[in-house]
Chains A and B, each alone.
Chain A
């Protein structure tokens, strides 16, 4: 039976959690509200409620371009990072590997360093190579940024597989490639998918590195930033709501997948 002190502590903690919850979710609450209704002198004008701003978004060419850029950068960088992550994880788990710790350190660096350092390092690097800044440089930046996440998930999955699985496959005369294709791949697939969704979520929102690498190109966060500097309109709030709902949806998907992995392992 919980003591009186425990109950009071729990009530106080619940109040704190509630307050923090409201502050953390203010972006979603505010943008959703203002995308639908007008507010005049602190009064919500319910009669102005409309979803017309969500439709208008699809007529705004600069927004559509930014969405297209963000999707292209996200899909390509996640794909590249996934391929790299699988190769690196397989190598690190291979018994003949050298420099394991060095590889791990390098892979985790862009994730550990302050984003301003990663962004500036790439900026200096690309300008030294004489490369113009555009979506390609953004894609490379995102690739190394999300690599750590994919690598971690793939490596963890590889390490949970029993060694006997690979040994049995070899005993039965399978080549390394056949073992990878028929024994490891079915196990890795779901870890890669989870990592890819998580990586895409990060890429979708990445701003602090992107701002150094985009040149005159615009990803969605940069477009939002530029739009919001001018001032808030119902249209911007509609776009913000959509962006937040996509991020939240993807994160819940990752959470559910990680949860079901845990259940399976138990």
Chain B
């Protein structure tokens, strides 16, 4: 048997890489949020000034709240469309089911940047949406209302993150034993009753996981808002990004990033608790 000191040394050897490249950077990032800027230089004095500046500025707090609302909407749309599709795939069988699953998961891996630009070319003034609406006669001329606002961000994010919602829901549906569904039917429950009382509760863990994916991804996204949101499309992620770019205030940006991290972790913990309760 290996002695304890040897086990500790081995642990340190194995864990050194991940700790150095994951834990230390996150630590450095958190530390940065307590520093301050002076004459374009980062001063290494520890204080809570950045957090105080954030919480006392209604503009920043409002941006965070609006972003949270946006993420909640993205999540809701994701669930409302993602759940029926996962359910549809699950109801097929054999090869068709496998192929359908693959088709709806594949877009997950398609280029993120390309997806954003595609949405732009669909929503834009000369975009497909306008061309179709004008051709059908709903609009008399192309409209600018589809691009460069909060709704454009919402719609684009909902499309981009949808596969992240479908996959976990499908996986939890797949774990439901067919015999349970059969038993419910044998006991006289119609398809609606079986769905509400058997399938929906049993697939809750995957539904929660899918919701979390959509929420956290939307929360941290800063490129979509910039590309389809235009001047009106400010989100919290974009504000953080600007602090590390043009605004050049890394400590304040790090504090905002830490707030975002805290919100993401809170969402993950709450989601985890909700999933646990469902299991019992």
Contact = CB atoms under 8 A, between A and B. Distances in A.
Interface of A: 3, 5-6, 9-10, 13-14, 16-17, 20-21, 23-28, 30-31, 42, 84, 87-88, 91, 96-99, 102-103, 106-107, 109-110, 112-117, 120-125, 128, 140, 143-144, 147, 201-202, 205, 207-208, 211-212, 221, 224-225, 228, 232, 240, 243-244, 247-248, 250-252, 255, 259
B257 A5 contact: no
Contacts of B118: 26-27, 30-31
B159 A9 contact: no
A154 to B, nearest CB: 14
B191 A3 contact: yes
Nearest to B238: A116
Nearest to A236: B117
Q: What interface size band does chain B fall in?
A: 35 or more
B240 interface: yes
Contacts of B22: 106-107, 109-110, 144
A124 B109 contact: no
Contact of A9 (B26, B114, B191): B191
Given A23-B159, A110-B22, A207-B112, 9 more contacts: A9-B191, A16-B88, A24-B159, A27-B111, A88-B18, A97-B7, A121-B28, A221-B111, A244-B114
A255 B167 CA distance: 13
A6 B241 CA distance: 49
B262 to A, nearest CB: 10
A115 B222 CA distance: 10
B15 A106 contact: yes
Contacts of B131: 42
A123 B107 CA distance: 29
Given A24-B159, A27-B111, A125-B29, A117 B261 contact: yes
Interface in B239-271: 240-241, 244, 250, 253-254, 257, 260-261, 264, 268
B231 interface: no
A218 B254 CA distance: 25
A143 B15 contact: no
Given A27-B118, A115-B220, A243-B114, A107 B18 contact: yes
Interface stretch (B52-60, B96-104, B146-154, B175-183): B96-104
Nearest to A198: B109
Interface string B142-165: 000000000000000001001100
A158 to B, nearest CB: 15
B273 interface: no
A96 B87 contact: no
Contacts of B110: 27-28, 205, 244, 247-248
Interface in B81-124: 81, 84-85, 87-89, 91, 98, 100, 102-115, 117-118, 121-122
Q: Mostly helix, strand, loop or mixed at chain A's interface?
A: helix
Given A10-B91, A114-B216, A121 B26 contact: yes
Nearest to A212: B244
A140 B21 CA distance: 8
Contacts of A252: 102, 106
Nearest to A228: B117
A163 to B, nearest CB: 17
The 6 closest A-B pairs by CB, nearest first: A114-B220, A125-B25, A121-B29, A13-B88, A27-B118, A121-B25
29 contacts: A3-B190, A6-B191, A17-B100, A17-B104, A24-B163, A26-B118, A27-B115, A31-B114, A88-B18, A96-B10, A98-B8, A98-B11, A103-B14, A117-B29, A120-B244, A128-B28, A143-B21, A144-B21, A205-B112, A207-B112, A207-B113, A208-B221, A208-B222, A221-B113, A244-B110, A247-B109, A247-B110, A252-B102, A259-B98
B84 A124 contact: no
B32 interface: yes
A29 to B, nearest CB: 9
B11 A97 contact: yes
Contacts of A201: 109
A117 B260 contact: yes
A17 B85 contact: yes
Contacts of B112: 205, 207-208, 221
B28 A124 contact: yes
Given A91-B10, A114-B220, A125 B190 contact: no
B19 interface: yes
A201 B32 CA distance: 32
B104 A103 contact: no
Nearest to B100: A17
A229 to B, nearest CB: 8
A243 B107 CA distance: 13
B121 A232 contact: yes
B121 A30 contact: yes
Contacts of B191: 3, 5-6, 9
